[in-house]
Every structure is written in structure tokens, then in C-alpha cells.
């Protein structure tokens, strides 16, 4: 090789291919090492920061113990004890004792819901009894006993006017006007002394009702009082105004202050159909001969409540030959009523018991000489059988004169409301 001199250009040397690959590997290794050194230096700079972060305490939120929910629904035949056994297991006694003093067993209806939560060990910790949309009971273990809290959601009340025309039935007319079947029954009860809503109703009859509409949290709950109503039945126009008497007991009166309530109801059943009428010569379907039929037969399903038509005293309960199970009631002024072919008797109905108009005294059945479920209703006046459909019933006690004047002022306001107008100023009782 020629010697290198200052100022001269060194001669270019050609390296074999193998030697170039070795140089490339060396350069790659050097670059990788440099990169690692840079990363390492940067990492070393962050060591104090990471150490400081690691020194800070870490707060860990405790996990809440799981409380499994339990629930059950009241079934037919259930008691407070049987429900508590299902929910609380071995601890049922303390829950039963707490409920017995607070829960009316008559409200323990099939479908009533019980819900609760348990401790991690499985023991019942809390219970909620949902009686209806408005009422519930909250129970919680406290020491050896149980704390109970009654919850009653407030009702929101709004007065509403409903109007309808009869085309097929009172139920359909009321529902078409925005009401319910329960409201139809309530409206029938207002006029029950003057209208038999099966026998007297005609297509084209009409009604107007001023009613309290009750809601919970903005959702409809139920219909309240009917404050006033008008019912047009063929050529009759009947009015009903709710007003308290001198003792504070509310009742319905017409626009002149005459009470709608009369000594006798038009029918012992709320809604039914007449299947056989009063007759001195009717062919008996079982005995196959003509004989008097001193009552009116109302066809209805087994178990339909039968209402006593007037205040009185029960004189007989039991079986009476072809009448089957029967109840007889003595009323003032020489009247007596009989209710025959019953399936059973109302609560507490026995001989010597006083009953009030509208009280349930029995249930429709088919006992005795009967071909189908129905009620045979009969009336005696001074010992003689009388057609129940033609009996004239005197009205109840009228309002006292001083109270009548206040009622007449009140009725003026009510009449305007029934007509769909605002009541005049000062026309309020």
C-alpha cells in the first residue's frame, strides 16, 4: 500500500460482502445500545417520582355485604304465621308477633305481596308488606324486637264531571264517559230507591255525575264521593245531592231537600235480571203443577251478595222445606221480608240480630226446590203477601227547616255544575 501524505486523498478500499454485513450488525447493535441507554437515563430520572407515588397510602372502599332479597305472595288459605314461616324461616315467631298487632287479617288478601332482605347469615333483616297502591308497612329488626312504620301515600283529589247516554247498559255508558265499572255501581246505588237498573233502564236514558277523582303520584287510584248526579229515565228526571243531615251523616236529597232514601230498596240485588214475577197461578217447574208464586225471582250467579231491603230484626235463619236456606226479617209498620234459596248467610246473620238497609244477609244459591241459581224475594204486609215490585215505600226523615234553607242554597250551585256551568257567587251551602 502506498504511504499516505498530508493533503492527499486516501485510497478507497473495497471490503468484501461478508465484511459489510458484519459492520452493519455492529452499527445496529450500537444504535440499539444507545437507545437503551437513553431510556435508562430517562427512567432513572423518574425513579424519585415513582418512589414518592408508591409511598402514598391507597384507600380501598369496603365491599358492602350482600343482602339477598326474598319475597312471597299471599295464597288462598294463608295466615300471617304461614307467610312469616316462608319469609323468615326459624325466626318467624318475632315477625309474626309484630304483624299480628298491626295488620288486620282481613287485609291479608290473596295476591298481597311481602318483600324482604336478609343478613349475610341468612336471617331476615327487613320486611315490606304492600297492602295496596296507597298503603304499605315497613318492618325492620331492632335488637330483640321489630320496628314498624306505616306508609300512607297522600291522595290528590279533583272534582270531575261525567256525562253519558245509555245505549246498552249503565256499565258501558259510564265507561264510555271515562268512568269505571265501580263508578257505575256507585251511581246505581245513589238512585237505588227509585230506579231498578235492570228492569227500568231504557235506551236513550242519560246521566250526569259530579265525582271526586282520586290519584296517587299523578296516577288514577279510585273514584271517591259522588257529590251530585242527575238521571233521566224515560219521562222522569231524578236529582241527587250529597248533603249531611243534622247529625253529620251524609245522605242524598233531591233539589227540594227530600231524601232519596226510602224505607225499602227497589231490589235486594245490586244488578240482576228478573226470571219470574209475582203470580197467583204459576206453573212450578219442579212440582209440575200450577200454584201461587208470592215472590219475585232474581237470576244471578252463585255467591252474589243479597242485601236486606230495609232496617229490621232477623226472625229466622235456616232451611225451610222447598225454600232451602232462608232468612226472614221483621221491619217496622207490619212489614216482613224473606230471602230464599240461599247458598249461605252473611257475616253474623242469625236470629235476633238487628240489620240495616243494604247490609249483606246472604248469598245467591240454588238450595231447596230450585232449578238454577236465583233469589226468591218476598214481602208480607200485615200478614198478607204483597208484590215486591208494586210496594210503595215511604221516604226517610227529611231535613230540619233551618238546615233545609242552607241545603237549598247549596243545591243552586250543584244544579249549575250539573249543567256544566260555574255556580253563582254565594250559592254555596
- pLDDT of 4 > 60? The answer is no
Distance CA 79, CA 110 (A): 10
Q: Is residue 182 part of a domain?
A: yes
Give the pairing type, strands 354-355 and 279-283.
Answer: unpaired
Q: Is the domain of 251 the same as that of 304? A: no
Distance CA 361, CA 99 (A): 31
Q: Is residue 80 part of a domain?
A: yes
Exposure pattern of 107-143 as b/e (b: 16+ CB <10 Å)? ebeeebebbbbbeeeeebebbbbbbeeeebbebebee
Q: Read off the pLDDT band of 29 (50, 70, 90).
A: very low
Q: Is the domain of 279 the same as that of 379? A: yes
Mean of pLDDT values over 78-96: 91
How high is the pLDDT of residue 54?
54
Exposure pattern of 182-216 as b/e (b: 16+ CB <10 Å)? ebbebbbebbbbbbbbbeebeeebebbbbbebbee
- pLDDT of 309 > 50? The answer is yes
| Structural contact between residues 407 and 239, judged by C-beta atoms closer than 8 angstroms | no
Residue 418's nearest CA partner among 222, 207, 235 is 207
- CATH number, domain of 236, equals 3.10.450.350
Q: Is residue 350 part of a domain?
A: yes
Q: Is the domain of 143 the same as that of 170? A: no
Q: Is the domain of 363 the same as that of 405? A: no
Contacts of 151 (CB under 8 A, 6+ apart): 135, 136, 137, 138
Q: Among 152, 171, 201, give the residue marking a domain's end.
A: 152
Q: Is the domain of 280 the same as that of 333? A: yes
Contacts of 142 (CB under 8 A, 6+ apart): none
Q: Is residue 37 part of a domain?
A: no
Distance CA 235, CA 223 (A): 29
Q: Is residue 24 part of a domain?
A: no
Q: Is the domain of 126 the same as that of 181? A: no
Q: Is the domain of 226 the same as that of 375? A: no
How high is the pLDDT of residue 36?
42
| Structural contact between residues 145 and 94, judged by C-beta atoms closer than 8 angstroms | yes
Q: Among 152, 181, 215, give the residue marking a domain's end.
A: 152
Lowest-confidence range among 114-128, 333-347, 348-362? 114-128
Q: Is the domain of 356 the same as that of 415? A: no
Residue 139, beta-bridge partner list: 127, 148
Q: Is the domain of 176 the same as that of 118? A: no
Q: Is the domain of 323 the same as that of 343? A: yes
Mean of pLDDT values over 112-141: 90
- CATH number, domain of 310, equals 2.70.70.10
* Local structure of residue 182 (DSSP, 8 states): H
- pLDDT of 164 > 90? The answer is yes
Q: Is residue 31 part of a domain?
A: no
- pLDDT of 66 > 80? The answer is no
Higher-confidence residue: 341 or 13? 341
Distance CA 381, CA 29 (A): 127
Give the pairing type, strands 113-118 and 124-130.
Answer: antiparallel
Mean of pLDDT values over 11-27: 43
pLDDT tens, 363-411? 999 999 888 899 999 999 999 999 988 887 777 778 888 899 999 999 9
Q: Is the domain of 145 the same as that of 165? A: no
Distance CA 414, CA 229 (A): 9
Q: Is residue 27 part of a domain?
A: no
Q: Is the domain of 131 the same as that of 84? A: yes
Helix or strand or coil: residue 394? coil
Distance CA 63, CA 359 (A): 59
Q: For the chain, what is the domain count?
A: 3
Q: Among 136, 152, 168, give the residue marking a domain's end.
A: 152
Q: Is residue 315 part of a domain?
A: yes
For residue 207, give its domain range. 155-262+395-429
How high is the pLDDT of residue 55?
61
Q: What angle do CA 386, 387, 391 make, to 5 degrees?
A: 85
| Structural contact between residues 324 and 369, judged by C-beta atoms closer than 8 angstroms | yes
Query: E strand or H helix at 339, and its extent?
Result: strand 335-345
| Structural contact between residues 71 and 116, judged by C-beta atoms closer than 8 angstroms | yes
Sign of CA dihedral 381, 396, 265, 350: negative
Other CB atoms within 10 A of residue 298 CB: 25
- pLDDT of 140 > 60? The answer is yes
* Local structure of residue 388 (DSSP, 8 states): T
Amino acid at each position: 500500500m502506498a504511504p499516505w501524505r498530508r493533503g492527499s486523498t486516501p485510497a478507497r478500499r473495497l471490503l468484501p460482502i461478508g465484511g459489510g454485513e458484519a459492520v452493519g450488525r455492529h452499527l445496529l447493535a450500537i444504535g440499539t445500545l444507545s437507545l437503551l441507554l437513553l431510556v435508562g437515563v430517562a427512567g432513572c430520572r423518574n425513579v424519585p417520582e415513582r418512589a414518592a407515588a408508591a409511598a402514598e397510602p391507597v384507600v380501598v372502599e369496603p365491599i358492602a355485604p350482600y343482602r339477598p332479597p326474598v319475597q312471597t305472595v299471599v295464597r288462598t288459605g294463608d295466615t300471617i304465621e304461614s307467610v312469616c314461616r316462608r319469609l323468615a324461616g326459624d325466626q318467624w315467631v318475632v315477625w309474626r308477633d309484630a304483624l299480628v298487632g298491626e295488620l288486620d287479617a282481613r287485609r291479608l288478601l290473596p295476591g298481597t305481596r311481602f318483600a324482604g332482605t336478609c343478613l349475610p347469615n341468612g336471617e331476615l333483616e327487613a320486611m315490606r308488606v304492600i297492602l295496596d297502591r296507597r298503603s304499605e308497612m315497613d318492618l325492620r329488626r331492632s335488637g330483640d324486637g321489630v320496628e314498624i312504620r306505616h306508609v300512607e301515600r297522600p291522595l290528590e283529589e279533583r272534582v270531575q264531571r261525567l256525562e253519558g247516554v245509555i245505549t246498552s247498559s249503565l256499565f258501558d255508558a259510564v265507561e264510555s264517559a271515562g268512568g269505571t265499572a265501580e263508578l257505575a255501581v256507585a251511581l246505581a246505588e245513589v238512585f237505588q230507591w227509585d230506579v231498578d237498573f235492570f228492569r227500568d233502564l231504557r235506551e236513550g236514558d242519560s246521566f250526569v255525575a259530579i265525582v271526586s277523582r282520586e290519584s296517587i303520584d299523578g296516577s288514577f287510584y279510585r273514584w271517591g264521593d259522588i257529590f251530585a248526579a242527575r238521571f233521566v229515565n224515560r219521562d222522569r228526571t231524578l236529582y241527587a245531592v250529597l248533603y249531611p243531615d243534622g247529625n253529620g251523616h251524609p245522605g242524598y236529597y233531591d233539589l227540594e231537600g227530600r231524601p232519596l232514601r226510602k224505607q225499602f230498596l227497589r231490589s235486594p240485588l245490586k244488578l240482576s235480571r228478573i226470571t219470574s214475577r209475582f203470580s197467583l197461578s204459576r206453573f212450578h217447574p219442579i212440582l209440575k203443577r200450577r200454584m201461587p208464586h208470592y215472590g219475585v225471582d232474581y237470576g244471578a250467579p252463585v255467591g252474589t251478595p243479597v242485601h236486606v231491603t230495609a232496617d229490621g230484626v232477623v226472625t229466622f235463619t235456616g232451611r225451610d222445606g222447598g225454600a232451602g236456606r232462608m232468612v226472614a226479617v221483621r221491619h217496622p209498620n207490619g212489614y216482613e221480608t224473606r230471602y230464599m234459596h240461599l247458598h249461605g248467610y252473611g257475616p253474623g246473620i242469625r236470629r235476633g240480630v238487628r240489620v240495616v238497609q243494604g247490609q249483606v244477609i246472604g248469598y245467591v244459591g240454588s238450595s231447596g226446590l230450585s232449578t238454577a241459581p236465583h233469589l226468591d224475594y218476598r214481602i208480607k204486609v200485615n200478614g198478607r203477601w204483597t208484590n215486591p215490585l208494586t210496594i210503595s215505600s215511604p221516604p226517610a226523615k227529611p231535613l230540619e227547616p233551618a238546615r233545609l234553607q242552607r241545603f237549598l242554597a247549596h243545591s243552586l250551585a250543584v244544579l249549575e255544575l250539573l249543567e256544566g256551568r260555574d255556580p253563582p257567587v254565594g250559592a254555596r251551602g
